[in-house]
Chain A
Amino acid sequence: AQSVTQLDSQVPVFEEAPVELRCNYSSSVSVYLFWYVQYPNQGLQLLLKYLSGSTLVKGINGFEAEFNKSQTSFHLRKPSVHISDTAEYFCAVIFNTGTASKLTFGTGTRLQVTL
């Protein structure tokens, strides 16, 4: 079955510390991978995406993610977080079944940055 898993529902971290938010997926077909961020009372904003090519992708606000096909993972990282990074982060996958592009989301990880 095709699925997306974000094991960490909450990740507390101190400002200026590094952070990694984990995302794993299960699929028998090729995938396209996305990370979205949701600030309170706002919609989803695209952070970065992997469609093809280099497995290390860089996004906005200093975030990056690495596609690991053998581990079926797409973890999000930032070397030094800021208070303003406090938000909900969603990993999303398009399973390439040949039909219309349908995003399947994980359950989200709340990143809480404190001083």
Chain B
Amino acid sequence: EAGVAQSPRYKIIEKRQSVAFWCNPISGHATLYWYQQILGQGPKLLIQFQNNGVVDDSQLPKDRFSAERLKGVDSTLKIQPAKLEDSAVYLCASTPSSVALTQYFGPGTRLTVL
């Protein structure tokens, strides 16, 4: 069974530029999560999708971050415009449903904002 796929693995941009990350969850997994992991910290949930609907986006900085999962499968997280403090690893995870307790993580995208 293929795991959670993410791309790109690394991205370097200048501040005020925009960037997008892509995630393809495990096949059949209805719930998808995006996390931000700043160096030296644990991952922090940004947004949770159930199929193509948002379950929790309370910690998503909506003035610059957006995410979508239009067909309920893969998802895109966008930052526009990026700030220096957005430098982090962005992790995607998925579960079969919103009540499933074990999350499966992708390899992450490391973003560096200069």
Contact = CB atoms under 8 A, between A and B. Distances in A.
Interface in B59-114: 91, 93, 95, 98-108, 110
B24 interface: no
B55 interface: yes
A44 B105 contact: yes
A15 to B, nearest CB: 25
A102 B93 CA distance: 12
A43 B108 contact: yes
B4 A107 contact: no
A46 B107 contact: no
Interface residues of B, number: 29
Contacts of A49: 101-102
Nearest to B107: A43
Q: Would you call the interface of chain A mostly helix, strand, loop, or mixed? A: strand
A63 interface: no
B16 interface: no
B105 A45 contact: yes
- Interface-central residue, A46, A90, A101, A105, by most chain B CB under 10 Å: A101
Nearest to A32: B101
A17 interface: no
Contacts of A107: 40-42
B46 to A, nearest CB: 12
A43 B4 contact: yes
Interface of A: 4, 9, 32, 34, 36, 41-46, 49, 51, 90, 92, 94, 100-103, 105-108
Interface of B: 4, 6, 31, 33, 40-45, 48, 50, 55-56, 91, 93, 95, 98-108, 110
